[in-house]
Structures are given as C-alpha cells and as structure tokens.
A and B are shown apart, each in its own frame.
Chain A
Amino acid sequence: MSIHDMHRGGSMTVVTLALGSQTLAIPTDLLREILDPLPVTRVPGAGALVPGVVNVRGSVVPLADLKQALCIPDEGQDDRSRVLVLDVMLGGEAATVAIAADAVHEVATIDAGAIEAVPASAHVWPPEYLSGLFRGAQGFILLPNLEQIFSNLANRPLAVQL
C-alpha cells in the first residue's frame, strides 16, 4: 500500500504528527498503534537514525528517528511525545517499526487532489524521502515515503563496525 495508490483513490485518512516544528502525515493504514513514550534500549553502533529498540507488547521493535532522516532539527521532547508503531515493507517483507513523534495532532481525511508534488526548490528535505505534501492550517504537511526511508535505513552503512 503506497501513497501513490491513494492519489487515484480519491481521499486518504492520515494521522498528523509533529517532528520538531514540522508536521508530517502518515496513512492510518500503516498505523498499528500510538503509545506513550517507552523505555528505549540503545543498540551500540547502530547510529542516530535507528538508535535503539523498544518492547511493544512482547515484541522487540526498532525505534527510528525520522527527524534524522528528514534533516528536521531536534527541538526537544515534552509530555506530548508519543511512539507510533507502524507496519511497513522492509526489503520486500512486512515488518513492524516504531517512530518517535514529538506530538500527535489528529486524524484527518485529505483529498487526493490536495496533494502536491514536492517543489524542486525544497532542498531542505531529501526529495526521495517524500511522496508529496499538502497545505494544512499551519503550513505544509509532509507525506514521508516510509518505504523508501526504511529500505535505505536497512542498507545504511554503519559508522562503527561492531
């Protein structure tokens, strides 16, 4: 299920969340659950993109920091922080991953027609990591290309060989 399929579908339901000062939208189809912050176990040598793992109902799930991947500055966490558990495709196989969010705003339905291509001038974000964006009340809302992000993460070279 990719976001591109949604364009033809007319509308899609997303959950919007904050990463730093940026708002993102993730299709609810991919969302398994939203949890309060969990204790994170650091994985030595794994790097800042997927720094650790968390226990989600008895499963050990990797926790990714999308701010790192999307080059969004970190503005600190507060009691609005959440963990989103997602079902994504990873190297052709279904996998469960968790992402950290600084806040979760709302569930919204967006019209396919409202989704715009990422402007070529928007160098702030790595373009291959975005499927599109749309305008919300407080500015642009990004639609991350999770499949691309996670498959790049799975193949990333590690700085430290452990």
Chain B
Amino acid sequence: MAKEYLGEFEELVLTMVAALQEDAYGAAISEEIETRLKREVNLSAVHVTLYRLEDKGYIKSSMGGGTNERGGRRKRIFTITSAGMAMLRALKESRIELWKLVPQLKMF
C-alpha cells in the first residue's frame, strides 16, 4: 500500500480527535484548537478535514446526543481508529527521529 501522508491541519485535527475521545465533534475540536493553540480556525475547514480523515479510514463516526447549547441538534462524535492511532504514532516517532538529527545548540 502506498504510504499515506497527512497534512499539517489533518494531523492537528486527528490528534484532537484522539485527545478529546468521547467529546470529539466539529465545534468542540475547533474550540479546543482555538483555546489551546491560540489559533483561529474555520469551522468549515474542521468539518471538511474530519470527513476527509473519515474517508481515509483514520477516524470513524456515529451520531451522538444533542444538547441545549446546540438547539437540540445532535453531534457527530468522531473516534480514532487503530489505523489512525498507528498513523499518529508513526508520525510522532518519525518526528522524534528527525529531531535527534538536529544539532542541539547549547545556550551560553
């Protein structure tokens, strides 16, 4: 199988799905990214990325319950699949491998 690659934003969203577990849905993910990373994200971009990740088989989804805050609309809860987990792990490890190659400058 050809090696799949993830874009930066895809990786970020995938990580958030893994981190938020039961509470991983579009609005929550975008809120989390905004508060934790201080990064303005576009809700539609998050949605599209989630669908794409689902197409690639890294996450799966099911409909969850609605809340008052959402005007009673149900959420689509995403959960990471083992393929997604493996992908994340592989990414992390390759990053660390590469990081080791960087000469560590000492600050004097």
Question: Does A associate with B in a complex?
Answer: no
Q: Which positions in A face B, CB cutoff 8 Å?
A: none
